[in-house]
Amino acid sequence: MSEAPAHVIDAVGRRCPLPVIDLAKQISEVPVGSVIELLADDPAAAADVPAWCRMRDHEFVGEKARGDATAYLVRRTH
């Protein structure tokens, strides 16, 4: 997971479903094949982001701790 994200969404402090809505609105801002990073501190994002990726056919790359938040990495596939 060393690839630098093409775009970062700061959704810290936003609660479900807002982080995933932010991701859905902004994923089209990166080129196909690029990674977008979603920063969120809502525990629901741990399940919501991978589920959204499966439903929308994007690749969930992984997650990593980032201070008090978690960085969710998603690769745009289409």
Residues serving a catalytic function are 16
Q: Tell which residue, 9, 69, 75, has the closest CA to residue 40.
A: 69
How many angstroms separate the CA atoms of 75 and 78, rounded?
A: 9
Q: How many helices (H) and strands (E) does the chain have?
A: 2, 4
